[in-house]
Structure 1
Amino acid sequence: MRRSKSQAVYKILPGMWVADKDRYGKSATALVKTWNYKKMDGIYSSFIEAEIKRQIRLFALRGGDISSFNVDESKESFLIVEAACRPGIPDITAELSPLVYYCPECHRATQFRRPADVTRDCPICKQGKIKQLQLVYPCECGYASPILIPKINGIKEFYYHPTEKRYGMFYYQGKNRNFKEFGMKCPNCGQYIQRDSAEAGSNYKAFNTNVINLIGPDMGKFYEKGEAARKLIVSKWFNCISQDGFENIVKNSDTAFSEKTTNSAIREEAEKQARALLSMGLIKEDQLEQTISSLAQSSNDNELNIESYVSACDNIFMKEKNESEENYRAWINNFAFSLMQYETIKNANIVITLDESIDQQLDIGFIDHKNEIEKLNSKLGISNVQASGNVEIVSCSYGFTRKVTDPHSAKGNLKLVAFDRDADTDRHLVYGTKLETEGILFDIDRVKILKWLLCNNIIEENQMPDIEDETAVRKWFAQNVHSENISTFGGIDDNDPITKNVFLLLHSMSHAFINTAGEMSGISANSLTEIIFVETCSIFVYSQSGQGQILGSLSGMFESLFGRYLKRVYSDNRECVFDPICVDRDGSSCQGCLVLADTSCKYFNTQLGRKYLYTLKTEKNNLIGFWEM
């Protein structure tokens, strides 16, 4: 079986049953046992580990079992690894499973002891070519077992007739023909488990995260300076520090975060210099304080003084800081994590701006005037957009559940299962892959989102900020949209309607962007995916395939066809072939419209709906669509 690294991270993980061919060329399933791995280099593992732990804690808050994991922030709990790709050595080891086979001729069932014992011909009648019974027992507690021949005292011969009854076996007691249905009691939790197809997606739900890898060692070193660095990132978002000033601090982070550049150290050095001038008679006693202040202000160390920027962050969010210092720190870490990734994409090594795209389309005659694009952007609520290239993304799988992903949907205790520990470090393995790719970054108009929330009665007039004040608008979203409440596995609670509706809107818009990009860029929608930054109201649609970067498919579409793309985004996603059922029953999201391949949506295609984009009036829905305001 040959798969790309990116596919393996989603589709071939330890504990998962996968389809393949056996040594006789017949269809078979196998249980993935191990990866031949190596530590992934060139990444900022602490940056990625922080996001993994955040997701695990969210799972616990929804009532899930995370006993497999250590989420202590003070400890390194995970080792991020990738396929070793060593010549002559399989990267992934899997074992034939289940070992129960049946004969289509005599219908006798056989359970082999080892994969090597499996034969081509029926060991009983010697006539039929045996087939694997590809069924397993998965449980919400994490336990899973391949199907086994039932155990009944005194019975040794069992018969399988899939056309008569598929989920059980027949046996004889005397002349009586009896049927035993497949099923078992879980040895771990005691829950009764029903059989399922070995290949069914419900047997194994991989928990993944996609993280933008930071640009260069300077940025990684800066981020690891801790809470003060996080506050600096937040201050930059509120324009308290210029881009040049921020980059200077990043390049000189050791000095910037040292005692030398603190206010007290700068003043102490200035006072030493001033007193030296006083002792030489160059200034008078009554000029001493003024000289100290002047020398302190002109010190070169001021350029790297971070204290004012840290204080600016605290002053902006003084209310949150006073309410709970602990919650404030956790929130700042989460906010900064999102902003850091957003800024990395925004300031990527290769950027094609909207103005450059418009100029290109004017030159080749695809649009007649730049206001064509401006009107379409306004209609779709896009405040800014750019293509970003040479963006490095780390995709990781850190655990899995069975049957369902959301603890609220489980019948029993849903467990998030960790992967095995690395023998040398005793840290849990996280299976990952690095991808250098390109994508399109959409900044959605925050003011239009506020007006949409207001006109749909999600917020009231007295909750609106001053929409003419960009800082006030940014602060409102920072305070009212809580990305820490958004998980990859479950819905957002109704008691946080602002976060819920903002995310539903952005997520639905993202899938519409992906659908149309899949039609126009030359890359299948199944090869595209998303990262959503709710704090900045931004969407990054990118290619999961390295070919996307090589071919320049998305950037080419953005540069030459963006006007046509925007028109089709609006027109192509309004209708669904399954309407009115999709609108009435499925919340206006199904396989015929916004639902993508599982590998394209880390949210498992939940929290979506065309009704957030278009005004689809029904008895259950009275929302005014964002694109039709």
Structure 2
Amino acid sequence: MMAFNPHDREMSRDRGQVLFRYRPDQTFDHAGGFIAQVRQYAPDDTYDGPALDRQYLVSQAMRLVRRWRLEGKAAGGDERAPEFPSDAPLAASHYQIVIPGKVFCRVWPRVVRCAKAGCGRVWETPEPRHGQDWPPPCPTCGNVGGNRQLQFVLAHQCGELQPLKPPGKCGRGHTAFRLNDRVSRFKDFRWECLHCGMSLNVQGFCPNTAGCTWPNKAMVPLLHTAGSAYVPQGLSLVNVMTQDAALSTTRPGYIVATLARWLGECNENDYDRLMSVSAGPAVPQEILDSIDAMEQAGLTEQAEALRRRFVPVDLDRLSGAVTKILGYDPVQDPRGPDLAASLSTYQRVLHLDRLLLDRLADQARTPARKALYDTYSAVLHRAGFDPTRTCLLGDFPVTYLAVGYSRAGFGPAEADLVPYRGRVTRGAPATTLLYAHPSTTEALLFALDPDRVRRWMYANRLADPSEISSSTDLRRWFATRLDPRTGQVPDFPADIDERHPDWPVHQLFSLLHTLAHQTLRALAVDSGYSETSLSEYLFPYELAFAVHPNGGRGESSIGALRTVLEQNLDAVVNRAVDNDTCLYDPNCMTANRGADHGCLLLPETACQCWNRHLSRWHLYGSPEGTTVGYWDPVLASGSIT
């Protein structure tokens, strides 16, 4: 009999590995020597971390579902997330947040191949029972040594997964088959009758007659561990607030103060006063009466001192100023809270433990190190980054939110988004489950040089100095054109071109996204991480991005990015700038605008935007010279103003 025990289904994995490798309905090679499928999670009863803002997590998941549906329809498809709650006012109540603990799995598929030469029969076995030897002897030859589960499955775009089972019988009524897979392509696989040698195609059709809307019902044969057999779909969220802290973000003072400071309409003192009053109780009426009495008595200095202490900046005035800039009321329009939340995420990142370049130079232990760090600013400036904002974030809080999965396709144009359904507790109604993994890691933060960005926009006729003459103008221009309700992935049309009114803002966002990909690729070479182990996080309104380990990949993440900062940040940035070719050039640069698997495209775990909004034209210019690249020396010199 085989040495493994299919009843030994205990797994010891951390939560990060679970959410990347062992999700519900995902198959994997079990350490016990068999193929297993995850059935469900149990909540982690030992989790003692902060209670994250449930409303925010659910809203971000709903954004992903909404985006999947829209892009699926844009690609000519039907409903591409049919099992998720409809996007209705009460949809959020159908979601539950679960921090996973235990993992339950089963032996699957139960299709076994005989290992005896000359036989090789494939048959389906019953569920293993406790104390029973498994797999059972071959029903044709009785062999028990070396029999193994068949490692192939059938997948469909609707999410259906089936074992690769032999046919019921051949044309002559025989029921025993072997699989001829000694070929290089799945389409050449054949079932061979053990009795008469008749050859039959390997095929299967989707059994989901009720919920599958795909016209092609043929299922795709895949290795059970193939990347497209199970594609995790989720979000990496940074600095998720606790439930208590999130309460203050809905107050008008918080929203207006956050936007006004970012837009340059109030100073730090005004911002602090607004925030403190917004988070605290209302100003007592007797204080307001005292201020009025002092002013009427001519005690203006005393009245002003009391006002500065107790009364915030005129909220109505600031709200009116913000409304004039944005074109909508930041308190009444849903775009206001969304924009404030996006800006707040970045501002709270800046309050984390940061290792800036000037502090790094001060800590240099040798003259050689000090000399190296002194070169970093020039290297970053050459690449169009802002050296004063480039830093290492030592405790970067990332919450990975698992929303669902797809099969036989990676994006909304190729497959349905399938939810996790189940009960959080016994007896509770079935809901749509979202699995959260809060963690802290390290990250490298890069910010674009706003002056270089403005010159790039002038050169490409995306804006002119009369519209954007300063960094503040650039922020205002971007804020009025990039809709914050779409989150990290703006909802640009798939066929957008220079005739579309959103073309300029699309190009600016695409520049930021392209720089993030190019930097991540270079970092993967010099950090010891692979591209699958790193992720981007975009801060669009700040024209900044972070690159961080995505967790769960079994690679050490402690200190690796700090080592990059301390030893070879210059090599990473120079590699990003100098790596201007693609394996598929010149076709890639001309036909794909310089975005292909040989250059900018990253694994699905690394990119927030499904590898959209990318072009090497933004960096190096177009082949015809109609587009000026961000890394064109003419922009670095500042000759374009």
Shorter-chain TM-score bucket reads 0.7 to 0.9
Which residue of the partner structure matches residue 479 of structure 1? Answer: 480
Give the deviation of 1:531 after TM superposition.
0.3
Which residue of the partner structure matches residue 107 of structure 2? Answer: 96
Q: Supply the distance in 1 between the matched residues of 2:304 and 2:604 (Cα, whole angstroms).
A: 58
> Cα distance 1:372–1:492, how it changes in 2: closer, same or farther (>3 A)?
farther
Match of 2:348 among 341, 344, 347: 344
1:169 aligns with 2:191: yes
Deviations 1:499-542 (A, max 9, x none): 43223322221122223333334444443221011121111112
Which residue of the partner structure matches residue 23 of structure 2? Answer: 13
Q: Supply the distance in 2 between the matched residues of 1:66 and 1:229 (Cα, whole angstroms).
A: 37
Which residue of the partner structure matches residue 130 of structure 1? Answer: 147
1:270 aligns with 2:274: no
1:430 aligns with 2:434: yes
Which residue of the partner structure matches residue 187 of structure 1? Answer: 208
Letter in 2 for 1:404: G
Which residue of the partner structure matches residue 467 of structure 1? Answer: 468
Give secondary structure in 2 for the equivalent of 1:50. Answer: helix
Contact 1:466 1:472 (8 Å CA) reproduced: yes
> Cα distance 1:567–1:229, how it changes in 2: closer, same or farther (>3 A)?
same
- Number of residue pairs the alignment of both structures matches: 585
> Cα distance 1:587–1:205, how it changes in 2: closer, same or farther (>3 A)?
farther
Q: Supply the distance in 1 between the matched residues of 2:455 and 2:128 (Cα, whole angstroms).
A: 63
> Cα distance 1:137–1:210, how it changes in 2: closer, same or farther (>3 A)?
same
Give secondary structure in 2 for the equivalent of 1:625. Answer: coil
> Cα distance 1:249–1:390, how it changes in 2: closer, same or farther (>3 A)?
farther
Which residue of the partner structure matches residue 88 of structure 1? Answer: none
Which residue of the partner structure matches residue 506 of structure 2? Answer: 500
Q: CA RMSD in A?
A: 3.8
Give the deviation of 1:302 after TM superposition.
0.9
> Cα distance 1:367–1:574, how it changes in 2: closer, same or farther (>3 A)?
farther
> Cα distance 1:212–1:341, how it changes in 2: closer, same or farther (>3 A)?
same
Give the deviation of 1:11 after TM superposition.
2.3
Match of 1:417 among 411, 416, 419: 419
Deviations 1:587-615 (A, max 9, x none): 53445444444433343444434333224
Q: Supply the distance in 1 between the matched residues of 2:384 and 2:493 (Cα, whole angstroms).
A: 23
Match of 2:177 among 132, 135, 158: 158
Q: Supply the distance in 2 between the matched residues of 1:557 and 1:488 (Cα, whole angstroms).
A: 29
* Superposition TM-score, scaled by structure 1 size: 0.80
Give secondary structure in 2 for the equivalent of 1:60. Answer: helix
Q: How does 1:236-247 map to 2 (within 5 A)?
A: 236-243=261-268, 245-247=270-272
Which residue of the partner structure matches residue 524 of structure 2? Answer: 518
Which residue of the partner structure matches residue 107 of structure 1? Answer: 120
Give the deviation of 1:92 after TM superposition.
1.4
1:149 aligns with 2:149: no
Q: Supply the distance in 1 between the matched residues of 2:37 and 2:121 (Cα, whole angstroms).
A: 24
Contact 1:351 1:387 (8 Å CA) reproduced: yes
> Cα distance 1:404–1:449, how it changes in 2: closer, same or farther (>3 A)?
farther
Which residue of the partner structure matches residue 204 of structure 1? Answer: 230
Further displaced range: 600-609 or 526-535: 600-609
Match of 1:627 among 623, 626, 631: 631
Q: Supply the distance in 2 between the matched residues of 1:133 and 1:426 (Cα, whole angstroms).
A: 33
Give secondary structure in 2 for the equivalent of 1:55. Answer: helix
Which residue of the partner structure matches residue 281 of structure 1? Answer: none
Contact 1:137 1:146 (8 Å CA) reproduced: yes
Which residue of the partner structure matches residue 99 of structure 2? Answer: 82
Contact 2:17 2:551 (8 Å CA) reproduced: no
Match of 2:43 among 26, 37, 47: 37
Give the deviation of 1:454 after TM superposition.
3.9
Match of 2:359 among 347, 356, 360: 356
Further displaced range: 368-377 or 469-478: 368-377
Q: Supply the distance in 1 between the matched residues of 2:314 and 2:491 (Cα, whole angstroms).
A: 43
> Cα distance 1:80–1:293, how it changes in 2: closer, same or farther (>3 A)?
farther
Which residue of the partner structure matches residue 231 of structure 1? Answer: 256
Contact 1:20 1:29 (8 Å CA) reproduced: yes
> Cα distance 1:83–1:355, how it changes in 2: closer, same or farther (>3 A)?
same
Q: Supply the distance in 2 between the matched residues of 1:38 and 1:71 (Cα, whole angstroms).
A: 29
Give the deviation of 1:392 after TM superposition.
1.3
* Superposition TM-score, scaled by structure 2 size: 0.79
Q: Supply the distance in 1 between the matched residues of 2:490 and 2:226 (Cα, whole angstroms).
A: 18
Q: Supply the distance in 1 between the matched residues of 2:196 and 2:136 (Cα, whole angstroms).
A: 31
Deviations 1:394-430 (A, max 9, x none): 11111222333443445xxx34434434244865321
Give secondary structure in 1 for the equivalent of 2:623. Answer: coil
Give the deviation of 1:308 after TM superposition.
4.4
Q: Supply the distance in 2 between the matched residues of 1:485 and 1:499 (Cα, whole angstroms).
A: 14
Deviations 1:379-398 (A, max 9, x none): 21112312222221111111
Q: Supply the distance in 2 between the matched residues of 1:525 and 1:176 (Cα, whole angstroms).
A: 47
Which residue of the partner structure matches residue 87 of structure 1? Answer: none
**Higher-helix-fraction structure:** 1
Letter in 1 for 2:424: D
> Cα distance 1:170–1:588, how it changes in 2: closer, same or farther (>3 A)?
same
Q: What is the aligned-residue identity percentage?
A: 19
Contact 2:527 2:564 (8 Å CA) reproduced: yes
Contact 2:153 2:162 (8 Å CA) reproduced: yes
Contact 2:421 2:430 (8 Å CA) reproduced: no
Which residue of the partner structure matches residue 4 of structure 2? Answer: none
Further displaced range: 356-365 or 525-534: 356-365
Specify every segment of 5 or more residues in structure 2 that has no aligned partner in the other structure, as ranges.
1-10, 74-79, 636-641
Match of 1:407 among 403, 412, 423: 412
Contact 2:68 2:417 (8 Å CA) reproduced: no
Further displaced range: 531-540 or 9-18: 9-18
Give the deviation of 1:95 after TM superposition.
1.7
Letter in 2 for 1:365: A
Give the deviation of 1:477 after TM superposition.
0.8
Q: How does 1:533-544 map to 2 (within 5 A)?
A: 533-544=539-550
> Cα distance 1:370–1:14, how it changes in 2: closer, same or farther (>3 A)?
closer
Contact 1:508 1:612 (8 Å CA) reproduced: yes
Give the deviation of 1:14 after TM superposition.
0.8
Q: Supply the distance in 1 between the matched residues of 2:568 and 2:394 (Cα, whole angstroms).
A: 17
Which residue of the partner structure matches residue 573 of structure 2? Answer: 566
Q: How does 1:382-393 map to 2 (within 5 A)?
A: 382-383=385-386, 384-393=389-398
Letter in 2 for 1:220: A
Give secondary structure in 2 for the equivalent of 1:519. Answer: helix
> Cα distance 1:353–1:57, how it changes in 2: closer, same or farther (>3 A)?
same
Give the deviation of 1:444 after TM superposition.
0.8
Give the deviation of 1:446 after TM superposition.
3.2
Letter in 2 for 1:235: A
Deviations 1:430-484 (A, max 9, x none): 1121221221211112343343244334x254xx554333322211011123454
Q: How does 1:589-628 map to 2 (within 5 A)?
A: 589-615=595-621, 617=623, 623-628=627-632
